[in-house]
Copies of this chain bind each other. A is one copy, B any other.
């Protein structure tokens, strides 16, 4: 049994931690700024790992990173936050430098894997994890396996079309669920409604956040409330699709936007019931919040490294 090094690469910070066998409490845990848009990100990452490298034998390095990326080859294909990494062989370089195997997958898959192994999804064999924040990401366990796909690009649950006449998505397509229910999509809707003359305690502004809208909803602002209702309604359609596709026993919600609670989830559950293809999908279906918070990516990287190196 060896120690495991886990890495979570974010837009602003790189987190690095060392875990003993069978533990999910890190014995060392460090955050360093990634300065993602400047050069030398890889060198900073390498140094951050060196700084925590334990005396004990390390079995593998696991990495959660924004995608798109190829988990089978360990290459980052392109990631908006780190312009330097284009078709970048991240795990081959790390494996060569540190002399241990390195494994990589995208942050949403890793958060889903962590919730399955250590969090809200423990014991389930068919699980859908959705993170709703600046985007919508998915992590799927099907038949007790992490869904990765042929090119490692499976489980992109935020980018399914649910309305061809819907809003533009960040990816350039129209009507993806992300374009209705992500934080920026909710803010865009509120801005549009205010600009169209709807009354609100909020003011239209480009950097309006879902957290501000949530505060307004809690204070009784009807536009803010209806914005979450709308996001929840479309989310219900999308999750109805995931039920028909995966027939999971649990659906787990993570990400900042899901913190708003009932303003999102009451209309969501109503819409889910309305749109579910067959009521049997709802029998014994658990719908719950993620348990691991901000540690999900890091713990997913840990789980991946353990899973692959076992």
- A binding-site residues for B, Cβ under 8 Å: 68, 77, 124-126, 140, 142-143, 145, 147-157, 159-165, 171, 173, 176, 237, 240-241, 244-249, 275, 277-278, 280-281, 283-284
Contacts and interface: CB of A to CB of B under 8 A. Distances in A.
A153 B282 CA distance: 11
Question: DSSP majority for the A interface?
Answer: loop
Contact of A143 (B145, B162, B281): B145
9 contacts: A68-B278, A126-B154, A151-B247, A151-B280, A153-B280, A154-B245, A162-B163, A173-B277, A241-B241
Contact of A162 (B147, B162, B246): B162
Contact of A280 (B68, B126, B148): B68
B155 A245 contact: yes
A165 B165 contact: yes
Contact of A125 (B150, B155, B156): B150
A145 B126 CA distance: 13
Given A152-B247, A160-B244, 7 more contacts: A142-B145, A143-B147, A147-B246, A150-B248, A156-B277, A159-B277, A173-B277
A237 B249 CA distance: 27
Nearest to A234: B164
A68, A164, A165: most-surrounded residue (chain B CB, <10 A): A164
B164 A162 contact: yes
B249 A156 contact: no
Given A150-B247, A153-B247, A161 B241 contact: yes
